[in-house]
Amino acid sequence: MGLFHNLTVDEERDLIQRGRDWQRLKSDAGYGSITWPVEYGGAGLPGAYESAFRRLEQAFVTPRIHEAVSISVAIVAATVLALGTPEQKARYVPPLRRADDLCCQLFSEPGAGSDLGSVATRAIRDGSEWVITGQKVWTSGAAHADWGYVLVRTDTDAPRQRAMSTFIVPMRSAGVEVRPLRQMSGGSSFNEVFLTDVRVPDDARLGDVGAGWHAAMTTLGIERTTISVASSGGGTDLLGRLTSLARELGRDRDPQVRQGLADVYVLGRLRSLNGRRAAANSAAGGGPGPAGSIGKLLTTHRAARITEVVSMLLGPRLGADSGEWGTFAWAEFVTGVPGQRLAGGTDEIQRNAIAERGLGLPRESR
């Protein structure tokens, strides 16, 4: 039920493997990428089919999907499909879509998270190759990835819109070092990644030289939508569990608890309706638009409201294993909520995006 994993390295590897097996099974049966073009292994169907499949899938017990798999399938493969050359699509998309290969997203750095325009990792051209040096951080799934999709600076003078480029780097290259980071929710599913004189050929570049900002914005749009339609809590029926807990504790008639449960229900419904709007916008060819940011905010608001209700119900028992039914498992969920608010762009950044790109309000000064 936790938002992140609290597992050993071996347990995490097993979890990833189960997710890969499930993704392969779905792909081979034609349900892996329902909205994708047929020539890249999709079914070429509208988003409504994808939503219907997801609803059905959630009614069954299926393997929990680790970020290493969802980032590869839903974010990187989708980005290559949008921006890659025909050769790159043929090379990267089929194995990523089927989770045969895993790819992590190397964007954030110690000095560049919300403001990716400050990315300092450099790629310098050397004949037909590029040499990449820098440090990335918070990279989910890097320890298990075959590839890294990296945002780098290729021009130190140009404005951000023309200063960056993106590459697909083999994570087993000489000069790539991955160091796991421990999260407060227990596990170490994200990492620091050090790149020291890592050499890649020019055909590992995704998009034109200097077009990395556009690539990054494309990826972040896909990521927001992915987070906003994914089910929080790994497919667990959180509202159902919360309601059962309130009943078990004899608090289900408490007006404050009832209000909280109603809010969680309403936020869940809004998120699902907004997800349909994002899918309809994308199907109409306009991308998800502000619906992606709205969906991500609804996801984090709902998780924060769940935290408030469960804290109201359990008080100090939230953090101690008292052995009572339904109590301790919530600690893992609650400690994951702050991470969820940051990952894929913080709440504040989503609000800025809605204000500037959705409502047309004046841009904040940068």
User: What is the Cα 68 distance to its own chain's centre?
Assistant: 9
Please list every residue from 43 through 82 that binds ligand FAD, using CB under 6 A.
none
Angstrom distance (rounded) from CA 245 to CA 243: 5
Task: Check residue 186 for interaction with ligand FAD (CB under 6 A).
Answer: no
> Tokens for 59?
């009614």
Given candidates 114, 161, 196, 322, which one binds ligand FAD under the rule CB under 6 A? Answer: 114
Q: How far is the CB of 46 from ligand FAD (least distance, A)?
A: 29
CB-nearer residue toward ligand FAD: 313 or 343: 343
Q: List, in sequence order, every beta strand (DSSP E) within the chain.
A: 103-106, 122-126, 129-140, 147-153, 164-170, 176-181, 190-201, 205-206
CB-nearer residue toward ligand FAD: 81 or 150: 150
Backbone phi, psi, residue 327, to 5°: -95, -60
Q: How far is the CB of 210 from ligand FAD (least distance, A)?
A: 20
Q: How far is the CB of 326 from ligand FAD (least distance, A)?
A: 25
Please list every residue from 121 through 150 that binds ligand FAD, using CB under 6 A.
138-140
Angstrom distance (rounded) from CA 1 to CA 275: 22
Q: Which candidate in 50, 109, 223, 332 is catalytic?
A: 223
Task: Check residue 339 for interaction with ligand FAD (CB under 6 A).
Answer: yes
Q: Considering only CA atoms, give the Rg of the chain.
A: 21
Task: Check residue 190 for interaction with ligand FAD (CB under 6 A).
Answer: yes
Angstrom distance (rounded) from CA 325 to CA 303: 21
Please list every residue from 249 through 308 that binds ligand FAD, using CB under 6 A.
none
223 is catalytic: yes
> Tokens for 85?
């050359």
CB-nearer residue toward ligand FAD: 105 or 243: 105
Active site residues: 223
